[in-house]
């Protein structure tokens, strides 16, 4: 048991653009697909994650964002975000924006958060911003 409590210190932000696609729910990569993109890596003493923002500058298509925790050897499916087809019946295509909040998502040292789209985007790029803190 620790003799002193551990508090979070420095704010860590992770940003990435998800450009490929991966249909697997276990992180494996089939022919023509890409590995899930690293969007956040835990600090040297571990980290806590507060939220992940997803934003497109174009039409994502009808897809799902799969979010994995990666321990350096194995992928663990953590969350899925259904993007849907926001422009399915429209000639005007708005960007997609979503904030996913998490409570007590603690990542040990060496772990990362990775994400993939289940289909290639129709237009634009899916960008992510992960807000967290280091221990």
As a whole number of Å, the CA-based R_g of the chain is 16
CA torsion sign for 126, 18, 125, 17 is: positive
Confidence label for 7 from pLDDT (cuts 50, 70 and 90): low
Distance, in Å, from the CA atom of 25 to the CA atom of 129, rounded to the nearest integer, reads 22
Q: Which numeric CATH code is attached to 11-86+93-134? A: 2.60.120
| The pLDDT of residue 94 | 66
Give the length of the chain.
135
pLDDT tens, 22-69?
Answer: 999 998 999 999 999 999 999 888 999 999 999 988 778 888 999 999
| Predicted confidence (pLDDT) per residue in 75-110, tens digit | 999 999 988 765 555 556 667 888 999 988 999 999
Half-sphere exposure at residue 69, Cβ-oriented, CA atoms within 13 angstroms: 15
| pTM of the full structure | 0.85
Q: Where are the domains of the chain?
A: 11-86+93-134
């Amino acid at each position: 048991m620790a003799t002193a409590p551990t508090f979070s210190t420095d704010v860590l932000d992770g940003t990435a653009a998800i450009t490929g696609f991966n249909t697997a729910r276990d992180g494996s990569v089939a022919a023509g697909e890409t590995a899930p993109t690293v969007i956040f890596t835990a600090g040297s003493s571990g980290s806590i994650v507060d939220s992940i923002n997803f934003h497109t500058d174009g039409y994502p298509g009808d897809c799902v964002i799969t979010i994995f925790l990666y321990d350096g050897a194995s992928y663990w499916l953590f969350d899925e975000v259904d993007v849907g087809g926001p422009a399915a019946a429209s000639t005007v295509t708005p960007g997609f924006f979503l904030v996913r909040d998490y409570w007590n998502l603690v990542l040990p040292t060496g772990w990362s958060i990775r994400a993939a789209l289940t289909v290639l985007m129709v237009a634009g790029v899916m960008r992510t911003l992960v807000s967290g803190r280091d221990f």
